Amino acid sequence: MKITNKLILGALCLTSTLSGIAQNQVDKKNIDKYIESDVISLVDRAGFSWQTSKGDFKLKPYMLIFTRGEYNYVDDEGLNIAEVDNVINTGFGIPKAVLGFAGTAFGKITYNFALDAAASGGALLNQAWFDINMKDEFRLRVGKFKTPMNRAYQVRLGQSLLPVLPASLSTQVNVPYSLNSVNPVMSTGFDIGIMAHGLINNKWQYQAGIFNGTGIKINHPTNTLSDDLDIPSFLYSGRLAYMPYGAMPLHEGDPKDINNFKMSFAASASYNVEANYESSNDLRMGAEFSILSNRFYFSSEAYTLNMDFVERQKTSASINYWGAYAQAGYMLKSNIQPVVRFEVMDRNSSDEDGLLLLPAIGFNYYIIGQNLKLQAMYQGLIKSGHENDYKANDDDNGLSEHKLIVQLQFSF
C-alpha cells in the first residue's frame, strides 16, 4: 500500500511539473500564432473575436463559402449510343459551406471546430481538433484534421491556385479486381487520430501521426488487428519539410504577401494497414518542392501508391501507381493571378501501358483580398501510350475530357 501511495504521489508531482513547464514554455503574448483554421487565413485574429478579460480564452468564428458554376464534357467511350449524354454534372453548386470556430484556451491550448453544411454523413463534421502547445518544437494535436501528406492538402482550402485539387491526387485508381467500389486515391485527406508536430530552428517542420485510416466520412472506430502483420490496422503517416528561409506560408498566392521569399523541400510517407475494407496494405510516398518569390508561386509534387493485397484476398501481385503535377501562378499588380498546372497520372498501374495527362489554365481575381475571390479554370484530358482505344477509354472512365469551373469565394 505504501508503494502504491508513493507511485500515485509521484505521478501527481510529475503531472504538475509537466503542466508547469508547458505553461512556462508558451509565450502567452504569441499564443495567437498557433490559431489556425486550415481553411482560410486568420491573420486578423483580433479583428472579430471574443475573449475573456484575462485573455486566457479566445473564440474566433470564421466562414468559407464556395459558389460554383461547372461544365463537364465526357467521352462517349466509342459506344456509338444514339442518345448518349456527353455533358454531365453541369450547373451550379455549393461544394463548400464551412462555419467554424478557432481559438485559444488556458494559455497553452489552441483548438478548431468546423462544420461543412454542403457535406453529408460523417463529412458534415469537417474538423474538430485541439493542439497542446508545449513549444514551437513540440506540439500535440488530437481529433479530426488533415493527415500529414502532400503539399496540395496542407495548403488552406480557400488559398489554393485552382478551385479543385489535382485530379491525380483525388481520383480513384483503377484496380483490375472486383474492388472498384473501394478503390483508393493517392492522397489521405482528413482523418481522426493523434499527431506530434513542430518547427525546429524555424527551418525543419515535422509531422508524425496515427489515424483511423477511414477518411473524413467516418467518425467512429472500425479497425481490427492485421492478420498478416499483427499490428493495429491504422494509418501511420509522417511528413518532413526543410524550409531554409523560414516557415513556408500555407497559401499559394496572397495579395497581402507579395514581398516574401520562402522555399520548401518535403517528403512524406504513410502506411494504411488493411485499408479498403481489409483488402490491401497501402504504402504511399511523396516528394515536394515549392517556392514563393514575391509575386511568383510555384509548387510541384510526385507521389506513388503501392497496394499490397492481404493474404485473405488470395491474389499474389501488388499494384503500383504514380502521379505528379507542377503548377505556377503570378500575382499581377491588378490583383489578378494567372495560373497554369500540368498533371500526369498512371491510373491503370505501372503494369499497364498508358498515362493520363491533364493540362489546366486559370486565373484568380482578388476582389477584396482573400475575403472575396473569383476563380476560373479550364482543364483538359489527354490519353497517351495505351495499347488500344478500349484500354484508353477504360482508363479515363469517369474523368471529364473538358472541365470548366467558375467559382466565387467568400470568407471571413
User: CATH no. for residue 69?
Assistant: 2.40.160.10
In whole angstroms, what is the distance from residue 345 CA to residue 326 CA?
12
Average pLDDT over residues 206-220: 96
* Cβ atoms 143, 192 nearer than 8 A: yes
Please report the pLDDT score of residue 180 as a whole number.
52
- 109 within some domain: no
- 131 within some domain: no
Q: How confident is the model at residue 23 (pLDDT cuts 50, 70, 90)?
A: very low
Please report the pLDDT score of residue 409 as a whole number.
95
Please report the pLDDT score of residue 404 as a whole number.
98
- 284 within some domain: yes
Q: How many CA atoms lie within 13 Å of 77's alpha carbon, on the beta-carbon side?
A: 14
Q: What is the pTM of this model?
A: 0.88
> What does the angle CA 100 – CA 119 – CA 377 come to, to the nearest 5 degrees?
90
Of the given ranges (35-44, 67-76, 126-135), which has the lowest mean pLDDT?
35-44
Please report the pLDDT score of residue 25 as a whole number.
43
Q: Summarize pLDDT for 274-311 with one digit per residue, the tens.
A: 998 888 999 999 999 999 999 999 999 999 999 998 88
Please report the pLDDT score of residue 40 as a whole number.
87
- 15 within some domain: no
Say which residue the cell 471546430 belongs to. 113
* Cβ atoms 146, 165 nearer than 8 A: no
Of the given ranges (93-97, 98-102, 273-277), which has the lowest mean pLDDT?
273-277
Please report the pLDDT score of residue 15 as a whole number.
40
Q: Summarize pLDDT for 238-276 with one digit per residue, the tens.
A: 999 999 999 999 999 999 999 999 999 999 999 999 998
Q: How confident is the model at residue 384 (pLDDT cuts 50, 70, 90)?
A: very high
In whole angstroms, what is the distance from residue 31 CA to residue 102 CA?
12
Q: How confident is the model at residue 159 (pLDDT cuts 50, 70, 90)?
A: very high
- Domain range for 193: 62-95+148-411
Closest-CA residue to 103 (of 138, 123, 129, 137): 129
> What does the angle CA 393 – CA 398 – CA 401 come to, to the nearest 5 degrees?
70
Please report the pLDDT score of residue 115 as a whole number.
97
Please report the pLDDT score of residue 320 as a whole number.
96
In 3-state terms, what secondary structure has residue 400?
A: coil
Please report the pLDDT score of residue 370 as a whole number.
80
The grid cell for 293 is 518569390
The grid cell for 70 is 461547372
- 67 within some domain: yes
**End-to-end C-alpha distance for the chain, whole angstroms:** 58
- Given a cut of 60, is residue 221 above it in pLDDT? yes
- 162 within some domain: yes
Closest-CA residue to 197 (of 238, 258, 150, 242): 238
- Given a cut of 50, is residue 377 above it in pLDDT? yes
Please report the pLDDT score of residue 10 as a whole number.
47
Closest-CA residue to 400 (of 359, 362, 363): 359
Please report the pLDDT score of residue 3 as a whole number.
44
pLDDT > 90 fraction of the chain, expressed in percent and rounded: 71
Q: What is the mean pLDDT of the chain?
A: 88
pLDDT > 70 fraction of the chain, expressed in percent and rounded: 88
In 243-318, at which residue ranges do the beta strands (DSSP E only) sit?
A: 261-274, 280-293, 296-309
| Distances 120 to 142, 225, 343 between C-alpha atoms, Å | 23, 29, 30
Of the given ranges (8-12, 24-28, 59-63, 362-366), which has the lowest mean pLDDT?
8-12
Closest-CA residue to 373 (of 345, 397, 409): 409
- Structurally, the chain folds into a number of domains equal to 1
* Residue 262, number of CB atoms within 10 A of its CB: 17
- 402 within some domain: yes
Q: How confident is the model at residue 81 (pLDDT cuts 50, 70, 90)?
A: low
Say which residue the cell 512524406 belongs to. 268
* Cβ atoms 287, 266 nearer than 8 A: yes
pLDDT top residue among 272 and 12: 272
pLDDT top residue among 176 and 77: 176
In whole angstroms, what is the distance from residue 237 CA to residue 95 CA?
27
Please report the pLDDT score of residue 168 as a whole number.
95
Q: How confident is the model at residue 110 (pLDDT cuts 50, 70, 90)?
A: very high
- Given a cut of 60, is residue 46 above it in pLDDT? no
pLDDT top residue among 130 and 83: 130
Average pLDDT over residues 353-367: 97
- Given a cut of 60, is residue 329 above it in pLDDT? yes
Please report the pLDDT score of residue 8 as a whole number.
41
- 358 within some domain: yes
